[in-house]
Amino acid sequence: MIGIIGAMEEEISKLKEIMENKEIKTIAGMEFVKGEISKKQVTVVRSGIGKVNAAACTQILIDRFKVDAIVNTGIAGSLKNEINIGDIVLSTDTVIHDMNVEGFGYKRGQVPRMDVFAFPTDDTLRSLAKKICEEDLKDISVFEGRVLSGDIFVSDKATKKDLKETFGGYCTEMEGAAIAQVAYLNKIKVLIIRSISDKADDAASMDYPEFEKKAIEHSVKLTKKLIETVDGDSPIDNNN
């Protein structure tokens, strides 16, 4: 079973439309739609925006729907000049950029008493997603790198510069690292897919409404193809 999380309804509505044999359960105010896409068992859910919603949603998927892997699809702001609106970022790992316990000797971004700084994501799922991008999304570029998450919509150049220099992030959003943290704790495979909707700078507020729709189309197309392409249990059972 693959769990698909989108923060906003727009990020998952197309996937729900093509599902077959659907069953719907509402838990913690979230609508979990269980069914099939291309004969593959999936559960698709809108988590809501922000790290707390995302973490709660992920744990429910694991506990109640027994998912083996989670794909988080959505949009993000670019942190690198070469990553343009519409391009795809596939997570190598994730960091919670607004975690700050420097006063107790931790480096910025480190979750206290966790054994990792960045939460890893699955190499096999990422490789498969990259191959799909190169074959089916040839009009855009695909990047592999660190995804940053925080309860902040980054819309100024100074914050963008800080995040890029401090964490080496490729893009910034509000859910992926929380999902990856919960997956890490539960030893569940996870991949964060982000299509770039804005440049996370002083023009972000203007870019976002204009390019959000196209960015979502790219992430949904990739996620659908990824579900179709998953070969049995191979990307789930293989260890990183």
Question: Catalytic residue positions?
Answer: 11, 198
191 closest CA partner among 183, 200, 203:
183
Look at strands 30-37 and 40-46 and give their pairing.
antiparallel
Residue type, 171: C
Axis-axis angle for helices 123-136, 204-229 (nearest 10): 100
The Cβ-side half-sphere exposure at 190, using a 13 Å CA radius, reads 30
Burial class (CB in 10 A: 0-12, 13-18, 19+), 98: middle
Burial class (CB in 10 A: 0-12, 13-18, 19+), 121: buried
From residue 64, how far is each of 15, 33, 118 by CA, in Å?
A: 21, 12, 26
Helices first, then strands: H and E counts in the chain: 7, 10
127 closest CA partner among 219, 39, 15, 230:
230
148 closest CA partner among 111, 109, 184:
109
